[in-house]
Structures are given as structure tokens and as C-alpha cells.
Amino acid sequence: MSPMEPPPWQFQVLCPSPYGGETVVGGAVLLGSGLAVTCAHVVASALGLPQEERFAPSPDTPVRLRSALGGEHEMSVSTDLWSSGPDSRDLAVLRSNAPDLAGVELPVLFEEGEPPAQAPLSVLGYPELTGSMWASALYRGQAGPSSWSSQVDIVPGSRVRITEGYSGCAVRAESGEVLGIMQQNHRYSWGTAGEPSDTAFFLPLAQMRGLRSAAGGDETPVSIHRLINESVCGVDTYQCLHDFLDTVSLSEVPAEEFLTRRELDRVRERLHRGSSAWSLLMALWEILPRRGEPDPSLAWVHHVHQRLRRRRPLPPSLWGWIVRTAVQDLGASWEERLREDQRRRLASGESRQSPRAYDGSRAPKEAQRPQVVALFHLEQVARGYRMTFGIARWTGEGYELRPQESQVVAEEAICDRISDLVLAARSRGLFAVQEGPVGLRLLIPRSLMNLRLGRTPVSRGVLAYPARLAVKYEIVYHVSERIRAADYLDADPSLWKRRSHHQSSTPTVEHRNVLMSWQVPLDEVADRLGDEYVTVCAVDSDHQDHTHVFDAILHQGVPTIVHGPREAVRELAEELLLKEPEARVDVDSLAGYLRERSIRRADTRNISLINDGYGDDLLERVLGMGEV
């Protein structure tokens, strides 16, 4: 999904028009299976009632919605979390059991608490007579018409104001994650009275909470997160398992020792660091079991019970849920089948070994690598470049690659299209901020060596002042000619292999292994590269002969190249070489170092890091992505 396209999980709320047909009065956001939220005043408009008055709709009151995909739906107003009128949360929950809503992609929710001040946000709304329109804003903090609201200010210079048609629409972070729903704008009481100002207010997800009536007239606290979980697993499962499993951290019962690689790959898209056993259960819930095996969610709850039953008291509801679910799913032999499944899973987890070096020996230490890598393979075709995109995750043994899509793109559009694909992947939950810095790796032909991806905006066209890719991601380039043929330019493949081995043996950037090519006459570069311990070369991209220098470096098998304007590269190299021995930077950490430096210094965004380690099996997989 391009960042300019309406998300499939945001709907338009419709109201019958007195002139025939229907008009759009706001938005609603689908957060769970058949569960959506909007503003209570939007529901009032849809029902033809005054927006400002407090009222209580009868349960199951229908509201008409239109999908961005073109279809129309009907959802019912729920009494859960209903709040209307002055000084209220202005919140409505909508529900539906319609099967056509079951397959709609759901948004990724912002789970980091409060965003930092001045964080860029965006909202897609439906201003009158203009269809849909993006508005860019900056987060200001908690403020507004109620004690639960938060304030945003329109980005200076933007012509788009947040008007009534934005109510109930999703407020999104720069990553695409949903923070809450827009509630109302602020209107000037001076000048042009009644005109919308540069300020608006939204209701964060964390403030979507209240009381729900239970059997016997009692009221229990309920939050939107609870309602989302209940829409996935059901009320009974939530009541039996949540309060206990939410207190069990994954450090007590590690997921890696129990889940299969396939399951780990699936749940990493939804889990965050420090998650609980309950969060993992929700991530496992929709994974279908393999033939003859127990459901992964049931197997996980049983495993947690077995792990903890001798360590601390367990609630009776936990075992009762396991028995009821297992008998229904597995029959009379359920206990034996669950124990056998647990033994098989644990044996598989224990057999996983640490990664090996390129020559097959044990790696001396864990490389400083991103857990998630977004991969792009570009190869020249008749109409431009075929760009193949994939996501790879570190498993402990190596990267597992999941191809995404392939398309032809013009050279001038490469950087913008990569930005669109990365933002869309993040919005779809293919990776999360909490997983740590994400790597961008590009396998490019030598003809694209001057590609300056680092200066490209992260969210082109959505935010007025978006961050750049260089400050968000660890960018590494690779030269496809060398990866495809180790003897490219008649080079000796064993030389590239030996230099890569020297780099892994002496991984820090220091004077002996760095050559700044502009300090050497062109006809002497090859001689200086004769030293096999030179594993890092700095190349001046402004020099008229830099392509010849680049070819000489590739021919000599130098694995790491720092490429960019001389002044920017020179200052970076001197900064690295002047560090104290204990503070020197590993070559494997250069991508992360450049990302951190790009936040402080804009000239760093012009620098490209080419790091071709011999025997990088991930790149071999990239070459086959388009064929998968």
C-alpha cells in the first residue's frame, strides 16, 4: 500500500443526504475482527441527531460505512465505551459479524506510550466536497476539550486544515502506526470567526477505556485493547487467561526455545521486545496448525503451564481452559499429544546453533546486525530497472528471506519507490520499531553506484517535513556484478575471500586497514591495494576518475567501500581513525554508525557504504527472489 492510498482499515461513515444518496460525515477505524471505533458525534451525524448533545443510542443501532476498497458495510453501535456530549471522551464502538470484514487488513497500533513532542503525525480525512485529503501535523502533548485529549498543530506552511470530515479518522505516526482517532478542530473566536485554526485534538488509544456492565449489574473496567483481544479470541478465553499470562514475561518462558521457525517468522511481525506470554498468544492465535499437530495457541498455553507449575501458584482457570480446549480439539488423547508436541518443539529449539563464519568455523562473536532487513535487488531491463523487494529476519542461524513483490521502475523513481515500499511494509506490520534499527540492503549494478538513497524522504507526500531514510535505517549497498561473479574484472576470487577473512579477524576501523584513495596518485592505487590487510577504501565520488578507482578496488577484492563527496568522506574517515582503541568502530557497525551520524550531520546522508563480505548467503538468496 502506497502511503498516499487510503488504508483498507479506515472507513467513511455515511449519512443519508436530503438531496438523495449519501454524504460522508467522518471516518471509522477497524481495529479488530469486526470491531471499529469512531467519535460519538460522528455517529450522531450519521443518525441525523445533534452533535453537541449527550445521548444513548439503543444497542445494535445500524451505521452505514463505505470501504476504501469500494464496498459498503453496516455495523452496529455497541454500548461498550460509549461516551457522548460535552466533557466526554466522545467515543463510539461499532461491531459487525459480517464475513466480508474478516479479511480486511488491520492497522499496526502505536504501543510506545506517548510520542515525543514535535513528532510528525498524519491523518487522512474527508473534508466536504474534496474526497479524501492528507493533513500533516506535529504532536504537542496532552491538551484539549477533555482531560483525555491530545493536541496536534498543523505543520507550518501547510494549507490543509483539519475540518469536520476528519473526525473519527486514524491519527498515524511517521511509521504508519495508529495512535488514536481525530476528534475535533479548534476554531478561531477572533478574526474570521468560526474558521478552523492550526490546532486540532485527538483521542489516543490509551485513553479509550471505561466501564462495562456485567451480570448482576456490576461494572468492570474495559479498554479498547481488551475489546480488540476479545474480538480475536473470545470473552471466555480472555477472562480465563489474560490476567495471568500478561504477567509472564518472555524472559521466563522464551519463545525461541518453543516455537518453530515458521511461527517465529510470523509472530515477529506483531511482537515487541519485552512482550508477555499473552501478547505472544494473540500473535499465535490465527496461525493454522500443520496437519495432525495441536493448534499453536493451545500448545503455547500448555507449555507455559508446564514450565511454571512448579515455580509459582497458577490460577485454576488456566488449566481448566487447557482441558476444555484440548478435549474439543484433540479428543481423549489430548494430554499425550500435547506432551509429545512439547518434546518435539523443545528438541528442535535446542538443536539451533550459533551462526558460522564464511569458512564454516564458529563465528568468534555475534555480529552487530539488524534483526530485520529490507532487501532490494535492482537489475537493468529494457524500460528501466526491475526492482525485487523482500523482508529478511535474523533467526540466530542466519537470515530467513520472505519475498514481497517485483516491479519495473524508472531510474529517477528508484529512491522514491523504495521509500514507499518500506513505509508500506512498516504500516502493514512486517516489522516494528521495537525490533530495533532496520537494515536496508540494496544489490545494485555498478551503473547505480551514485544512487543517493540516504537523502530520500521516508514518507514522501504525506508529511510536510519527513525524516530521511538515512536517519531511520541502516543502509548498505552491494555490487551485483561482484556478487554474481567473484572473478568480475578478472579478479582472483581467493583474494576477495582472504580480505574478507582479514576484515572478520580485525574488524575495527584503523589506520592499517583503511586507504583514502584520493591521497594516492591514480597510477599507484593498484600498488597500494596490494596489501591484503587493506579492507576498507574511501572513494571520492566527485573525482573525474573515481570510476576507475572503484574498478581497481573491486578487482583487488576489497570488501568495504565508503563512497561519497570527498569532504564528507574525509571527515568521516578522520573521525573514525582518531578514536581511542577502546572506542573504535567495527566494520559491521558502520551502517549503524552512519545512521546515528546522519541525525546530527546532513552531509553524512550523501555517503554510501558498500560492504560485500565473501560468502554472504543472504545475497545469493536475493538473486533468486524474483524466481520464488
pLDDT at 86 over 90: no
How many other CB atoms are found less than 10 A from the CB of residue 351? Answer: 7
Q: Taking each helix axis from N to C terminus, what angle separates 224-233 and 235-245, rounded to the nearest 10 degrees? A: 120
User: How many CA atoms within 13 Å lie on the side-chain side of 290?
Assistant: 5
List of residues 6+ apart from 154 with CB closer than 8 A: 135, 136, 137, 160, 161, 162, 198, 199, 200
pLDDT at res. 319? 96
**Lowest-confidence region among 97-101, 104-108, 180-184, 195-199:** 195-199
Mean pLDDT across 141-149: 88
Confidence at residue 428, expressed as pLDDT on a 0 to 100 scale: 76
Q: Work out the average pLDDT over 289-308.
A: 93
pLDDT exceeds cutoff 60 at 339: yes
pLDDT at residue 224, as a whole number: 95
Question: 187: pLDDT confidence band, cut at 50, 70 and 90?
Answer: low
**pLDDT at residue 583 is higher than 90:** no
Q: What are phi and psi of 356, to 5 degrees?
A: -105, 155
Q: How many residues are given for the chain?
A: 628
Residue 585's nearest CA partner among 598, 600, 599, 596 is 596
User: Whose CA is closest to 142, among 225, 203, 214?
Assistant: 203
Mean pLDDT on 49-59:
86
Q: Is 80 exceeded by the pLDDT of residue 433?
A: no
- HSE (CB half, 13 Å, CA atoms) of 174? 22
Integer Cα distance of 381 and 52 in angstroms? 60
pTM: 0.76
Segment holding 473, helix H or strand E: strand 473-479
Tell me: pLDDT of 355 over 60. Answer: no
> Would you state the pLDDT for residue 127?
87
pLDDT value for 191: 45
CA pair distance 137, 134, nearest whole angstrom: 10
Question: Is residue 314 within 8 Å of 244, Cβ to Cβ?
Answer: yes
**Cross-strand partners of 211:** 221
User: Does residue 1 have a pLDDT over 70?
Assistant: no
How high does pLDDT run on average in the chain?
86
pLDDT attached to residue 621: 79
Closest CA to 51 of 95, 10, 102, 88: 88
Provide the pLDDT confidence category of residue 361 given band limits of 50, 70 and 90: very low
pLDDT at 253: 93
SS3 call for 136: strand
Longest dimension (CA), the chain: 90
Q: Which pLDDT belongs to residue 356?
A: 34
Residue 309 is predicted with a pLDDT of: 92
**Residue 362 — very low, low, confident or very high, per pLDDT cuts 50/70/90?**
very low
Q: What value does the mean pLDDT take over residues 164-187?
A: 89
| pLDDT beyond 70 at 129 | no
Integer Cα distance of 206 and 181 in angstroms:
11
Which range (170-174, 252-256, 518-522) has the least confidence? Answer: 518-522
What pLDDT, on the 0 to 100 scale, is given for residue 2?
46
Match 530497472 to its residue by C-alpha cell: 385
Is pLDDT at 365 greater than 80 in this prediction? no
d(CA 618, CA 624) in angstroms, rounded, equals 10
544-566 pLDDT per residue, tens: 777 788 888 888 899 999 999 99
pLDDT, position 352: 45
Q: What is the pLDDT of residue 236?
A: 95
Taking the C-alpha atoms of residue 321 and residue 339, their distance in angstroms, rounded to an integer, is: 16
291 vs 330, higher pLDDT? 330
| pLDDT surpassing 80 at residue 517 | yes
pLDDT digit string, tens, across residues 218-275 = 788 899 999 999 999 999 999 999 999 999 999 899 988 899 877 887 786 666 555 8
Which pLDDT value is given to residue 128? 77
pLDDT classification of 434: cutoffs 50, 70, 90: low
Does residue 93 register a pLDDT over 90?
A: yes
pLDDT tier, 624 (very low <50, low <70, confident <90, very high otherwise): confident
How far apart, in whole angstroms, are the C-alpha atoms of residue 23 and residue 13? 8
Burial of residue 25 (CB within 10 Å: 0-12, 13-18, 19+) is buried
Q: Which position has the higher pLDDT, 342 or 466?
A: 342
Amino acid identity of residue 34, one-letter, is G
The answer on pLDDT for 423 being more than 80 is yes
Please state the three-class secondary structure of 508-568 as a single string. ECCHHHEEEHHHCCHHHHHHHCCCCCCCEEEEECCCCCHHHHHHHHHHCCCCEEEEECHHH
